[in-house]
Structure 1
């Protein structure tokens, strides 16, 4: 398909391959000098969706749950037991469950925008939003670590591996500081952003490329390739549904692991 697209573009018909510019959306409306974009509105909408669904699932709590309550409790239990308790430990995990549950559901809703008709834009394919979440997680796990161990004690915990002594520490301490304090939020953000960006870019390519080959290429021989492109787009959409869930889970799991390591007594 890529070869066909390249050949058609070379003939001068003007297919423009999607790229980073495809994610630069124009403002939907402006408030003074501030341009409010689609991604901004989706971020705000997702907060209402998470709060609304949580309220709906818990509004009629009963011993024998209905379908909405059962789904909400299952999801909550998954984060509470499978993420928070396993990663943080049974002593401290409960106080972080609300944040982890909110984080997971918020990321999940924003990810799945990418396959919702008419919305079709995953918010976290814009890295600024991901950096915001990663910065919040960074503040939380460093804050709880400093609160428990003290500032110097926390630095020691994060930079000096247990049992390590001697001149090797001259090399290890800067590396551990860089890895555990400075690099973690960047890698946490980039993992989520890169997967959402690449997946959405593929969906754009398959859909626009298929439409171009069928409708605008001017060559009927390209039409079957365009149909294949659409079919691949559908297949990638199903794959993206899995990736979107996994990235929300991985971001939440790593957040819990970082909190657990900040509260641990040994590095």
Structure 2
């Protein structure tokens, strides 16, 4: 449950705001880049590596424990994310897609882990870097397999479209493939985690203030409402966190497929 609170006056409740996303170095005088989100990213990487190692380092014929969990995740990513877009090329890209899915999922779930309580994707730099990595792979595959001219032609060509219409259509579809797709990839994830974190912080601060800080007969009901809303939103947020990890990995598979096939 989110418990981050901003109190600027001892007698007045103040709702949390953008200061939730502004982090100082983890220790005084430390480098500016070494902040809480960076530590969470490192911790998330350790968790993903540890889970995959525990699941696949010594596979047994009959999966149990961590191997069962690992195989379930692998099957889900292969069947629901990789194969719909990549088809016969799915297995070649499973390592990357599984890593992306698990990484984003752990990033998101950090928002509801006690003490940590910050979804890394709510800091725009991290989903941007991940999306840029997929973007570079997409463009590289497109140029490598089809050449610059062939790749651009595959993107722009639309059967039956009159020649004069390409003057309007080509700039739009090129902007979609090379600009809009990148932004939609990371902004969707960032916006959902940002808004979810802010909402949880808001309602939990209401509950904390009106129950623990300034308990009054009139404020008690508002405090209880804040607690109940925090619990309900935490459950909803868990679903959204999984959904956003799925969508991010699914878009990654679609973009990789577009590079391989030379189309949009």
TM-score, normalised to structure 1, is 0.90
Of 109-118 and 34-43, more deviation after overlay is shown by 34-43
C-alpha distance in structure 1 between counterparts of 2:137 and 2:117, whole Å: 32
2:260 aligned with 1:240, yes or no? Answer: no
2:69 aligned with 1:71, yes or no? Answer: yes
Q: Which runs of 4+ in 1 moved over 6 A?
A: none
TM-score, normalised to structure 2, is 0.91
2:219 aligned with 1:204, yes or no? Answer: no
**RMSD, aligned α-carbons:** 1.9
Conserved 8 A contact 2:122-2:190: yes
User: For 1:46, which of 44, 47, 67 is the aligned residue?
Assistant: 44
- 1:63–1:218 Cα change, 3 Å: closer
User: For 1:144, which of 120, 136, 141 is the aligned residue?
Assistant: 141
* Alignment partner, residue 13 of structure 1: 11
C-alpha distance in structure 1 between counterparts of 2:155 and 2:166, whole Å: 13
Higher relative contact order (CA 8 A, sep 6+): 2
* Alignment partner, residue 58 of structure 2: 60
C-alpha distance in structure 1 between counterparts of 2:95 and 2:33, whole Å: 32
* Alignment partner, residue 188 of structure 1: 185
C-alpha distance in structure 2 between counterparts of 1:97 and 1:158, whole Å: 25
C-alpha distance in structure 2 between counterparts of 1:21 and 1:159, whole Å: 44
Matched residue of 1:225: which SS? helix
Instruction: Please state how far the C-alpha of 1:80 moved relative to its aligned partner.
Output: 1.6
- 1:120–1:32 Cα change, 3 Å: closer
Conserved 8 A contact 1:160-1:176: no
C-alpha distance in structure 2 between counterparts of 1:45 and 1:265, whole Å: 37
User: For 2:225, which of 223, 228, 242 is the aligned residue?
Assistant: 228
Matched residue of 1:36: which SS? coil
Conserved 8 A contact 1:30-1:36: no
2:84 aligned with 1:104, yes or no? Answer: no
C-alpha distance in structure 2 between counterparts of 1:141 and 1:224, whole Å: 53
Of 187-196 and 217-226, more deviation after overlay is shown by 217-226
Instruction: Please state how far the C-alpha of 1:222 moved relative to its aligned partner.
Output: 1.0
* Alignment partner, residue 255 of structure 1: 252
C-alpha distance in structure 2 between counterparts of 1:96 and 1:153, whole Å: 23
C-alpha distance in structure 2 between counterparts of 1:154 and 1:259, whole Å: 13
Equivalent residue pairs, number:
257
Conserved 8 A contact 2:142-2:262: no
Matched residue of 1:172: which SS? helix
Matched residue of 1:15: which SS? strand
Conserved 8 A contact 1:46-1:106: yes
**CA displacement, residues 97-147 of structure 1 (integer Å, 9 cap, x when unaligned):** 111000000000110000111111101100011110110010011111111
- 1:13–1:32 Cα change, 3 Å: closer
C-alpha distance in structure 2 between counterparts of 1:163 and 1:133, whole Å: 37
2:154 aligned with 1:160, yes or no? Answer: no
Conserved 8 A contact 1:206-1:230: yes
Point out where structure 2 has 5 or more consecutive residues left out of the alignment.
1-7
Conserved 8 A contact 2:206-2:222: no
Instruction: Please state how far the C-alpha of 1:170 moved relative to its aligned partner.
Output: 0.4
